Every structure is written in structure tokens, then in C-alpha cells.
Chain A
Amino acid sequence: MAKTADQYFDELRATRVWRSIFRSGTGSSTLKRALAIQQNVFLHLFSTKVRTRMLSFSATWYLGTLTLGTFFILVATGIPLMLYYHPSAPQAYNDTKDLQFVVSSGLFLRNLHRWSAHAMVFLVFAHMFKVFYRGAYRTPREFNWVIGIVLLLITLLLSYTGYLLPWDQLAYWAITVGSNIASATPIIGDKIHFLLLGGNTVNANALLRFYVLHCMILPLAAMFFVAIHFWRIRKDGGLYAHSSEPAVRRANAAEKEGQ
């Protein structure tokens, strides 16, 4: 009798090499399955037990997973772009043009990066509206809504800092206008403007600061908050409130009473 794929996988999991790497063996008992998650360095970020429907496929993956998908595309295209781009005032514009016209597949990578960035901003907003209209910001998910707002701001800042990097007229004036908006902050506005640009005008220091923010600080911050965001979604029993939840039952009861 031919073995099924599951049986092959079980055999693989029983091998010494597998067990030496993942520390968990075969078996389908609740304990074994829990250990397989909890003792894996990647999977242990997820809660040990989740509802089956959390793992089911849906058309949009709640939009948030699609957003994460665009983020992965942006990382995967952004890193190769960094290999040809110098964040210095004399070179940045020429490097951008080289990526566009000279480097093999540079045009493809750059366009993919750009369109994914647009898609990510659109999806983040779509995700926010969906969460809002489904009432998924209510208890116990209110903290995850706050994390989501932080992620929205990080997305917008990533978009904004990336805008300067081509170092053309559009970039220069967009950042001039944007940083002047920051200086409208009461009392500390001018200080923020100075710290953000590393000077009084958009020049070499500003380009370098925006590059470091765009390629290092903001992506790392995004990953950190995404990890919390996804962990909480699974822990809170899904993205949306379900009719069996106490908060929803109370709301429904209150509505009935009102009628």
C-alpha cells in the first residue's frame, strides 16, 4: 500500500536529524502538538493553541496578511536596490537613474518596490476601515487597534522617508513641505524640524537620515509591532468579534432592551 504524504512527514519527523533540529518528535497528542509549536523558535511567537478557523484561508486574509505580503515584497526588493544606491547628495539622483536605465532588472525592482509601497498604504487603510466597520476595535481587541494605529503611522513614515531618496525635484519639495508641516508642532516644532533634517534645509544630512530611517529604523520598528499585532490577533480569537463573545452578547442584549 502506498504511503500518504502525511506518513512520509511523520517518518521524517521521527528521524534523528529532525529531532536534533526541532527538539520535538512525532505524535498527535495535544501535548506533542503543543510542544511542536512551543519548542520551535519561529512558531513559538504564535500562541500554542489557536482555533482552527484562524488557520483557514480566506480571499483577502483579513487584508492585514495581504499588507504583510506587500511588506515582504518591499523588503525583498528594497535590499537589492540598496546595493546600487548611495545615499549621498552628489550620487543619489544618478544612482536612481542608473537603477532605472542601466542596471539589469533595476527598473523591474524599482517599480515593484514603488507599486508595493502604494499597495501597502492602500491595504493598511482598507484594513483599518474593515476593522472599524466590523467593530473589531472593541474589547478584548482595543490594544491591538492601538498597535494597528502605530503600524499605520510607521507605514506612512516609511512612505514619506522613501519619497526623498530619488533626490529629484519632486522629492526635494515634498520633503521641504512635509518637514515644514512638522515644524508647525507647538513649541518643539522647530527642534523636530532640525533633528529630522539634521540641519535647517533639506540637504545631505537630511538624505542620510531619511535613508537610515527608511532602511533600518522604521522597518525594524514595523517588524516588532507586526509580531505583537499578529500574536494578539491569534490570542484574541481572530480579527473580528464573534456572536459567542461576551462583549458582543452584552451589546446585543442592550440593543434588544432598547427596542
Chain B
Amino acid sequence: MAEEQKNTSAESAIDVNRRQFFAKLGLGSLSIAAAGTAAFAYQYLQPNVLYEPSPVVNQGKPDRYPLDSVTLDVNAGIYIIHSQEGYFSLSAVCTHLGCLTAWKPELGIIACPCHGSKFFVQADANHKPGDKIEGPAPRPLPWKRIWLNDDGDLLVDRSTDVPPLARDSFVRI
């Protein structure tokens, strides 16, 4: 008898009447719908197609860039540097907060106008081009992949970083 009573109480604990069942069903469906809405909203807010400029930019014939010159392409946000080792490309976008840096020929460095970061262009014993001299920038200016296409134009892929001073990071002519 005692065992029977126990059973009934255990059953009544999980037993729900019709009203409670439909209330739970309703709340459950609403929760699922709310979660679905949140997921759809999150996806909706992320554009699937971006009408942004291509990361690969054509920088023209190499003979545009004299030896030991630093050329800023303002629209592409990159430098084309013709050094003794060859042509290479540095990002012109400051690694601090994304401002466009500028080449300072009188100082021989790259400087950011926003918060005063400065970067090396000439390599020396301890520094590679792109390394920080001073300022808040957390990382060196990255090197970008550069190559010659079949027409003999310099192409730069702004979405691909390459290791500084590596053999393939230069175009040699």
C-alpha cells in the first residue's frame, strides 16, 4: 500500500494536466521561434555579397618605380618600395587603428598622422622594413604578396601577408 502511494506521488510529479501541457507546448514553441528569429537576424545582418574593391590591385609597370623609391598608393592603401633587393609591398594601413600612414622622405621613415606611430623602411642589422620605431602600433606594417603578371605589371594581393625579407616576398627583375 505504501509502495502504491509512492508510485502515485511520483507519477503525479511528472503528470501534467491538459492546461499545463498546452501552456508548456506554447512556451516551448515560442522559445524555438525566438531562437530561430535570433539566428535569422544574426545571419541577415551579415552581408553575403560585398561590393568592395578587389584585394588584388594592379600597380603598373615596374619601371614606374625608380631604385630606392617609396611610392604610396593612397586608394589601394599600400606602398611599392623598390630597394636594392627588389620590389616589395608594405601595407600603408597603420596596425594601431587603421589610419593611412605617410612616407616621410626627409626622415626616411613611414609615419602615421593619427597617433604618431613610426615605421622603418630601410633594413638594418636589427630591423626589417615595416618594423615599428615608436608609437602605439602593436604590430609591424605587414608585407603584402607581390608578383608580375603576364603583361609585366606588378600585382599586389592586399589580403595576403607574406614574411618580411623572404625570397618570395620580393619581385626581382
Name A's B-contacting residues (CB within 8 A): 173, 176-177, 179-181, 194-195, 198-201, 203-205
Contacts and interface: CB of A to CB of B under 8 A. Distances in A.
A140 to B, nearest CB: 32
Contacts of B47: 198-199, 205
A201 B99 contact: no
A180 B50 contact: no
Interface string B88-111: 000000001111100000000000
A41 B47 CA distance: 41
Interface residues of B, number: 12
A173 B120 CA distance: 23
Given A173-B114, A195-B46, A181 B97 contact: yes
Interface of B: 45-47, 50-52, 96-100, 114
A199 B50 contact: yes
A173 B99 contact: yes
A201 B52 contact: yes
Nearest to A184: B97
Contacts of B99: 173, 176-177
A195 B52 contact: no
Which of B46, B47, B97, B99: most chain A CB closer than 10 A?
B97
Nearest to A195: B45
Given A194-B46, A198-B47, A203 B52 contact: yes
